Amino acid sequence: MAPKSVQTAPDATGDPKHAVRATRSAGRQMRSRLLDGASRLFREQGPAGTSISDIAAAADAFPSQITYYFHTKEALFVEAACRDMLYVARAAEQAALSAHTPREYTRALVASVTATDSVAFFAEALTLTRRRQDLAPLVERTIERLHGEGLRAYAGQIERHGWNTLRDPDATSRRFWAVAIGVMVEGYATGRSPDELCAEMLRVLGEQATTKPAGDSARLRLVGERDPSVSNSPQGETSS
Amino acid sequence: MAPKSVQTAPDATGDPKHAVRATRSAGRQMRSRLLDGASRLFREQGPAGTSISDIAAAADAFPSQITYYFHTKEALFVEAACRDMLYVARAAEQAALSAHTPREYTRALVASVTATDSVAFFAEALTLTRRRQDLAPLVERTIERLHGEGLRAYAGQIERHGWNTLRDPDATSRRFWAVAIGVMVEGYATGRSPDELCAEMLRVLGEQATTKPAGDSARLRLVGERDPSVSNSPQGETSS
C-alpha cells in the first residue's frame, strides 16, 4: 500500500511560501519513509529485536532523524502500527465493495484482514501502550477512526444493497474489530496460517446481515440488541 | 484464587516412597509460589519491568530456583498468564452457575472476566509467544482447554435450562474468548475501567441464547452457522 501522507513537492512558482512548503513536504516524505522502514522491521523482528539504528539504516536516514520525528522507538512502533491498521481497514473495505451478498461482503473483509499481519502488529502496539499511557491518545484516535470508518462503510453497504443488519451497525463494526484482534492474537501465538486465520475468524464472527426480504420496503431495519429470531418475523426471509 | 497445584504433603507412613512424594510436593509448592509472585509483579510492571531477582524476592526464593523450574523469565511469564487465564475462566463459570436466564448468564460471565486483568495478562503472553514459538505448545494447550471447558460449561447450561443457543456452542465459546481478548487489549491500551470494559464487552458480544420457546420440546436446538432469523421459524419464540 502506498503511504498516503507522501505528497509530491509543489512546483517552484516564485511564491515565497514555496520554500516552507518544500521543507514541509520533505519532512512528510522522510516521516513516511521512516514509518515504512520501521513497519517492515517491527513486523519481522518485534520491538525488542529492532533498534533505532536498524530502522535508520533501512530508511536510509540518521538515527537522530528518528528521535527528531518520533522521540522514542516505542512511539514510532505505535505510530507505524496505527497507520498500518487504518490502511488495512480501508483496503478491506475496498476489497469488499464489489460484494453482492452479506456473506460475500463479510468473506471479502475477513480475507483481506487476515491476509497480512497488520492486526497482529496493531494488537502488539495496544499491548505496549498499556504500559506506556503517554502513547494512549494516538491509539485512542486510531480506534475511534477505525470504528467510525467501519460503521460508515458498513451502514453504507447495508443501505446501498437494502440488506438487513442483524445488530446495530456500530456494534457490528466493533464486534468485527474485537473479533479480528482476538482471533489474530491467538492465531499468531500458535503459528496459524492466513487461511486458518480466515476460516477461524469467519466462524467466530458469524452472520452480520441477511439479504433484503422480498416485499419489504427499502428502509434500513436495525435489529439492535434484540434477538433476531424473535423480531419482526413477518419481515424475515421466512416470509418469502 | 487458591492455586490448585499445591497439595498437602502426605503423612509419614513408613512407606519408602514417602520421601519422593514429599520432595515432589515441596517442588509443587515452590513452583506455585513462584507463579503467584511472578503473576503479581508481571501484571503490575509487565515483563520488561520485572526481573528474575524481583520475582525471587517476592516469592522468598533464589533466582536459581526460577531458572531451575522455568528456565527463562519469558517461559515463567507465559506459564503464569496461562494458569491465571484458566482460573479466571473457571471463576467466571462458577459466578454464572446461578443465572436463571441467558442474559443473566452472559452478564455474570462478562462481569467476572472484566473484573480482573487476567485476560489482558494472557493477551500479553500471546503477543510474546508470537516471537517465542518455543513457548507455543503451552499456549496451544491452554487455548484448547479454554475452548473445551467453555464449550462444556456453555452446553451444560443450555441443556440444564432448556435454552436455545443462537449459534453452535463451540462457536459461541470461541466468540466469547475472542471478543474478551479483543475488548480487553483495546480497553487496557486506552485505560478503560472494569465497568466500561464490562459494558463494552456485553455490547460487542450480543445475545448468546434465548429462553426456551413455549410449547417446544426439551431438546437442544443448534442453530449453527445459519442465520437464526431464517431457521426453523415455527419453533422460534415468534410461534408462542
A126 vs chain B: nearest CA distance in angstroms? 5
- pLDDT given at position B116: 96
Measured CA to CA, the distance from residue B182 to residue A180 in angstroms comes to 7
Measured CA to CA, the distance from residue A98 to residue B51 in angstroms comes to 52
- pLDDT given at position A14: 63
- Which residues have CB under 8 Å from A136's CB, separation 6+? A129, B189, B190, B191
β-strand partners of A164: A210
Measured CA to CA, the distance from residue B56 to residue B45 in angstroms comes to 15
Does pLDDT of A212 surpass 50? yes
Share of chain A above pLDDT 70, in %: 82
Contacts of A206 in chain B (CB under 8 A): 167, 171, 175, 225
CA A113 to chain CA centroid, nearest Å: 8
Measured CA to CA, the distance from residue A70 to residue B83 in angstroms comes to 37
Asked if B188 and A130 count as a contact pair (C-beta separation under 8 A), the reply is yes
- pLDDT given at position A40: 96
CA distances from residue A185 to A73, A128, B127 in whole angstroms, order as listed: 22, 14, 6
Q: Pick from A105, A183, A117, A115: which is nearest to A150 by CA?
A: A105
Measured CA to CA, the distance from residue B7 to residue B17 in angstroms comes to 16
The residue to which cell 408462542 is assigned: B240
The residue to which cell 496451544 is assigned: B140
Query: pLDDT tens for residues B27-64?
Result: 899 999 999 999 999 999 999 899 999 999 999 999 99
Q: Averaged over B66-78, what is the pLDDT?
A: 96
Measured CA to CA, the distance from residue A17 to residue B200 in angstroms comes to 48
Measured CA to CA, the distance from residue B183 to residue B195 in angstroms comes to 12
- Going by their DSSP bridges, the two strands B209-210 and B164-165 should be labelled as antiparallel
Query: pLDDT tens for residues A77-89?
Result: 999 999 999 999 9
Please name the member of A204, A228, A237 whose beta carbon is closest to the beta carbon of B174.
A204
Half-sphere exposure at residue B60, Cβ-oriented, CA atoms within 13 angstroms: 4
Cβ A206–B167 below 8 Å, yes or no?
A: yes
Contacts of B190 in chain A (CB under 8 A): 129, 136, 139-140, 143
Measured CA to CA, the distance from residue A150 to residue A112 in angstroms comes to 14
- pLDDT given at position A2: 43
- pLDDT given at position A213: 59
- pLDDT given at position A82: 98
Phi/psi for B108 (5° steps) reads -65, -40
Q: Averaged over B216-240, what is the pLDDT?
A: 39
Residues recorded for chain B: 240
Query: pLDDT tens for residues B166-209?
Result: 888 899 999 999 999 999 999 999 999 999 999 999 999 988 88
Q: How confident is the model at residue A129 (pLDDT cuts 50, 70, 90)?
A: very high
- pLDDT given at position A221: 43
Asked if A204 and B174 count as a contact pair (C-beta separation under 8 A), the reply is yes
Does pLDDT of A229 surpass 90? no
Does pLDDT of B7 surpass 60? no
| Segment of A108-112, B154-158, B221-225 carrying the highest mean pLDDT | A108-112
- pLDDT given at position B20: 80
- pLDDT given at position B232: 38
Query: Mutating which of B124, B138, B167, B186 best tests the A interface, going by the most A Cβ atoms within 10 A?
Result: B186
Does pLDDT of A228 surpass 60? no
Does pLDDT of A43 surpass 90? yes
Q: Pick from B108, B94, B135, B123: which is nearest to B184 by CA?
A: B123
Does pLDDT of B216 surpass 50? no
- pLDDT given at position B76: 97
Q: How far apart are the first and last CA of chain B?
A: 44
| Selected residue with higher pLDDT from A89 and B21 | A89
Does pLDDT of B214 surpass 80? no
Question: Cβ of A184: how many Cβ atoms within 10 Å?
Answer: 28
The residue to which cell 464490562 is assigned: B198
The residue to which cell 521512516 is assigned: A34
Query: pLDDT tens for residues B94-135?
Result: 999 999 999 999 999 999 999 999 999 999 999 999 999 999
Q: Averaged over A203-220, what is the pLDDT?
A: 68
Measured CA to CA, the distance from residue B162 to residue B173 in angstroms comes to 18
Q: Is B203 helix (H, G, I), strand (E, B) or coil?
A: helix
- pLDDT given at position B22: 81
Query: pLDDT tens for residues A159-177?
Result: 999 999 888 889 999 999 9
Contacts of A120 in chain B (CB under 8 A): 130
Q: How confident is the model at residue A183 (pLDDT cuts 50, 70, 90)?
A: very high
Asked if A237 and A213 count as a contact pair (C-beta separation under 8 A), the reply is yes
Cell for A54?
536498524
Q: Is the dihedral of CA B218, A223, B225, A201 positive or negative?
A: negative
- A-B C-beta contacts closer than 8 Å: 166
Mean pLDDT (chain A) is 85
Contacts of A178 in chain B (CB under 8 A): 178-179, 182-183, 186, 204
Does pLDDT of B13 surpass 60? no
| Selected residue with higher pLDDT from A217 and B16 | B16
Q: Averaged over B77-91, what is the pLDDT?
A: 97
| Selected residue with higher pLDDT from B230 and A114 | A114
